[in-house]
């Protein structure tokens, strides 16, 4: 009877997953040639999800590519001068700041305002501007 009960338990389905075809260094941008599909494992299953993304860590050959291993390519480099934009209602302020870290589109980054020397946090827009919001 126990045999029968064990045979009826659901098993996880093994789907295709993407693995690296070569060792990919951190900060490299992934291309079609860098990935291949294999059966089984966990991670991404569609090459379109990873091609064009930036490796955040070293990804070794024949290892699955995990979501935490990649991210959007950096648009802003550390110490780069960026435009800070603050908007609330009819008020719009533009000023310059120095990025304190690397960041890609949609990511948050700390920036030192060059006028006030204060540090603010904002989200990177597609044109490289860092958008800050009012503090509660």
64-71 — which CB contacts under 8 Å span 24+ positions?
A: 64/17, 64/18, 64/19, 65/18, 65/19, 65/20, 65/30, 65/35, 66/42, 67/43, 70/30, 71/104, 71/107
Tens digits of per-residue pLDDT, 50-101?
999 999 999 999 999 999 999 999 999 999 999 999 989 899 999 999 999 9
Query: Are 54 and 81 in a shared domain?
Result: no
Both 53 and 34 in a single domain? yes
Alpha-carbon distance of 45 to 80, in angstroms, equals: 35
Report residue 2 as tokens.
Answer: 């126990």
Boundary of a domain, candidates 28, 51, 71: 71
Total tally of structural domains belonging to the chain: 2
> Which of 19, 52, 71 represents a domain boundary (last residue)?
71
Separation CA 124–CA 47 (nearest Å): 25
- Are residues 112 and 124 both part of a single domain? yes
pLDDT exceeds cutoff 80 at 9: no
Residue range 12-61, pLDDT digits in tens: 555 689 999 999 999 999 999 999 999 877 788 889 999 999 999 999 99
Measured in residues, the chain has a length of 136
- pTM of the complete model: 0.71
Note whether 52 and 44 are within 8 A (CB).
no
- Percent of the chain beyond pLDDT 90? 75
Helix (H, G, I), strand (E, B), or coil: what is residue 34?
Answer: helix
Last residue of a domain, one of 26, 56, 71: 71
Write the CATH number for 126.
2.30.30.760
């Amino acid at each position: 009877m126990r045999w029968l009960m064990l045979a009826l338990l659901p098993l996880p389905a093994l789907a295709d997953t993407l693995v690296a075809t070569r060792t990919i260094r951190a900060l490299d941008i992934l291309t079609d040639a860098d990935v291949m599909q294999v059966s089984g494992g966990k991670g991404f299953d569609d090459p379109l999800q990873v091609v064009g993304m930036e490796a955040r860590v070293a990804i070794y050959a024949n290892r699955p590519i995990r979501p935490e291993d990649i991210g959007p390519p950096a648009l802003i480099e550390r110490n780069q001068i960026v435009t800070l934009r603050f908007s609330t209602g009819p008020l719009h302020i533009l000023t310059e700041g120095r990025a304190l870290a690397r960041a890609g589109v949609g990511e948050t980054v700390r920036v030192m305002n060059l006028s006030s020397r204060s540090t603010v946090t904002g989200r990177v827009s597609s044109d490289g501007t860092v958008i800050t919001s009012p503090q509660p």
